[in-house]
Structure 1
Amino acid sequence: MRQGGGERDGAENQRWPPWLKPLLGTSFFGQCKLHADAHKSECNMYCLACMNGALCSQCLAYHRDHHAIQIRRSSYHDVIRVSEIQKVLDISGVQTYIINSARVVFLNERPQPRPGKGVTNTCEVCQRSLLDTFRFCSLGCKIVGTSGDLRVRKKQAVVKKNKKKKQAQQQQQHRGAALDSEDDSSSTSTSRGSDRSSVVQSFTPSTPPATPNSFRTGKRRKGVPHRSPFGSLVLEF
């Protein structure tokens, strides 16, 4: 298994020039440490022979007999002119763009969260919107898209997506079960409360209804008035 994988990696590496992957991993447009005081010390050059990182225009004096290319920038992304790169690399399938009246290609992928409206073709690696005649948006995407790693990445993405979907379904089922359990417990407590109230009412004596006689019997009967014995006497003077 390891031997087969090693042979496959070797064949894929032979497909591309040795300077391509180092070029794509290089950071450009920084200040040159050797020529910081020079007028043009921005590192935007790359030597395909030495592959020793970004160079400034002053550094090219040490690479006169080597093939050096210039890297440009568009919207904070590195690009290279088609007229330069197509001499040393097959860029078929990579979409080109016209920037400042020059046709260029991007070095590395530029992921796009959502494809544009009505877009029918996207990059096979990063899903960026493309014209129908292209497969990749950059040189880096072409390397990944034409190697066996792309199939592995797609398979891993599908597995990851299915795993997330399954977890979401399980969480939803757990929430539903929890809600059902709460409903059952609330209904049980309500029925128990009603039972208790009925028991309490059964042990409490009921108040008899009021009747007209009850008001009369409750009052003390007034006695017969007695006239004063002196009321019949007539006083004479």
Structure 2
Amino acid sequence: MGAGGPDDEDNRWPPWLKPLLRESFFVQCKMHADSHKSECNMYCLDCMNGALCSLCLAYHKDHRAIQIRRSSYHDVIRVSEIQKFLDIGSVQTYIINSAKVVFLNERPQPRPGKGVTNTCEVCERSLLDSFRFCSLGCKIVGTAENFEKKRKHFPGKKRLSMAASDSEESYSSSSHGRQKTNSGGNNKVQSFTPSTPPPTVVNYRTAKRRKGIPHRAPMGGLIIEY
């Protein structure tokens, strides 16, 4: 047998995993838009036909369906659900709402916090020393044969990691696909994180000021607005 190729990489993972990580959840279901239960937070591992709402599950009886949850605008899944179908070893788990979860996609940090000795090998999020990746998406990227890591030094310890430019808020421990290019080579590293629109910024200096009530000057003078 020869060297591993793209087909070998795909066969390492269940066929539903990459489509799951690229999917956008918590949108309104088009089939059941009139129902108050139309938020799409379910996914069928057998059909792989997009995000589903709870009413859609009637068409997926006896199928393997999982529920996606959300923490601070990031998609998570309970460990008790995903570990039935996927090996999540080396991915850091978190306790959120008294349940152990893993994040679906990366949440990069610009730099590790003070005293941090271990970070995600893909996006550099701070991790406990016993983990290599912060999310399922980072595990797929970081374990690929063509993934190149840059050596980075921490106090008293060497870690392998890849720099990331985005910033996100830190979490207490227990998007659609885009391409990123390594600065040291031509290999491209794929990110599965669905994009999040930036918050709207209002420029109050350039905003149009509301005109005041006009007042007529005495003795038939000009109108002055304040």
Whether TM exceeds 0.5 here: the answer is yes
Match of 1:157 in 2: 183
TM-superposed CA distance for 1:9, in Å, is: 1.1
Question: Is the CA contact 1:80–1:106 (under 8 Å) kept in the aligned structure 2?
Answer: yes
Residue of structure 2 in register with 1:64 after alignment: 61
Equivalent AA in structure 2 for residue 116 of structure 1: G
Which of 130, 135, 158 is the equivalent residue of 1:138?
135
Query: What amino acid maps onto 1:156 in structure 2?
Result: N
Out of 10, 14, 17, the residue aligned to residue 13 of structure 1 is: 10
1:76 aligns with 2:73: yes
Aligned with residue 31 of structure 2, among 34, 37, 42: 34
More helix by share: 1
Name segments (4+ residues, structure 1) moved above 4 Å. Answer: 152-155
Shift of 1:117: 0.7
Partner AA of 1:39 in structure 2: H
Q: Deviation string for 1:33-60 (max 9, x for gaps)?
A: 1001112100000000000000000000
Q: How many aligned positions are there?
A: 157
Higher RCO structure (Cα 8 Å, ≥6 apart): 2
Q: Which residue of the partner structure matches residue 122 of structure 1?
A: 119
| Partner in structure 2 of residue 47 of structure 1 | 44
Native 8 Å contact 2:91 2:136 kept in 1: yes
Aligned-partner residue type, residue 136 of structure 2? L
1:158 partner SS: coil
When Rg is computed on C-alpha atoms for both structures, the one with the higher figure is 1
Greater strand proportion: 2
Unaligned runs of 5+ in 1: 161-237
TM-score (norm 1): 0.63
| Deviation per residue, 1:46-91 (Å, 9 max, x gap) | 0000000000000000001100000000010000000000000000
What one-letter code is carried by the residue in structure 2 that aligns with 1:17?
A: P
Q: Compute the displacement of 1:149 (Å).
A: 3.2
The superposition leaves residues 154-208 of structure 1 with CA deviations (integer Å, 9 ceiling, x where unpaired) of: 6932359xxxxxxxxxxxxxxxxxxxxxxxxxxxxxxxxxxxxxxxxxxxxxxxx
Q: Which amino acid aligns with 2:115?
A: G
- Give the match for residue 177 of structure 2: none
Residue 183 of structure 2 aligns to a residue whose secondary structure is helix
Is the CA contact (8 Å cut-off) linking 1:125 and 1:150 kept in structure 2?
no
> 5+ unaligned residues in a row in structure 2: which ranges?
151-161, 163-180, 187-226
